[in-house]
Amino acid sequence: MPSTTSSFDAYQSELLSITEQIKSRIQSKNVDEVDDMLQQAEDLVKQMGLEARGMDDAIVKRDLLAKVKEYKAQLSKLRSEYESATLFKTDNNSHNNTGSSSIPDSQSTVRSQNETLLNARSAIAETEGVAMGITEDLNRQRETMKNAHGRVNEVADMAEKGDGILKGMLRRNKFWQGKLW
């Protein structure tokens, strides 16, 4: 069974391959399927985040989460480049088809809306990742509390048995003291 870091490494390798393909397609202006590839890369980063949060070693966990954060930033940049490339492609088609002066205004509006949507999507993904991490931490804490509760019950039972033994010893001691006097 592979360890968490080997799973993380496998996701990382696949992510690097996909990002190279995305960069190549954006540079060659062949942006078909790039959106799907970006979504796949974002899913890989989410998986990497889950793997990193599942690590027991705090130092390794911190390092892997830092890598995840770096990959999220790279994907955000790639998504912006993709959006720019698709807008540029749309802009060229629009300029070839019409000569209207309202096109720059609408393009600005579209860019602004795209940026807002990208920021919202990024915030949702980040919030989802944080929520998953919190849920995992809460589950671990619940298990710890259950174990502690069980130990407390065991200690309470032992204390009751010890109390009974001490009372019996005190009764015997009083009995023997009464016989000796």
pLDDT of 33-47, one tens digit each? 888 888 999 999 999
Can you give the pLDDT at residue 181? Answer: 63
**Where does the pLDDT of residue 82 fall: very low under 50, low under 70, confident under 90, or very high at 90 and above?**
confident
The pLDDT tens digits of the residues spanning 147-175 come to 999 999 999 999 999 999 999 999 998 88
Instruction: Give the pLDDT score at 109.
Output: 82
pLDDT of residue 70: 94
Residue 45 is encoded by which pair of tokens?
Answer: 């980063």
Are 83 and 118 a contacting pair, CB within 8 Å? yes
% of the chain beyond a pLDDT of 70: 88
Phi-psi region of 33 (alpha: psi -120 to 50; beta: other; left: phi over 0): left
Rg (C-alpha) for the chain, rounded Å, is: 31
Give the residue-averaged pLDDT of 46-55.
88
Q: Is the pLDDT of residue 81 over 90?
A: no
> Angle at CA 40, nearest 5°, toward 53 and 118?
85
CA 38 to chain centre: 18
Find the helix packing angle between 58-97 and 34-53, rounded to 10°.
170
> How far is the first Cα of the chain from the last one, in angstroms, to the nearest whole number?
75
pLDDT at 63: 92
pLDDT at 2 over 50: no
Q: Note the pLDDT tens digit of each residue in 16-28.
A: 999 999 888 888 8
Q: Please give the angle made by the CA atoms of 60, 65 and 67, to the nearest 5 degrees.
A: 100
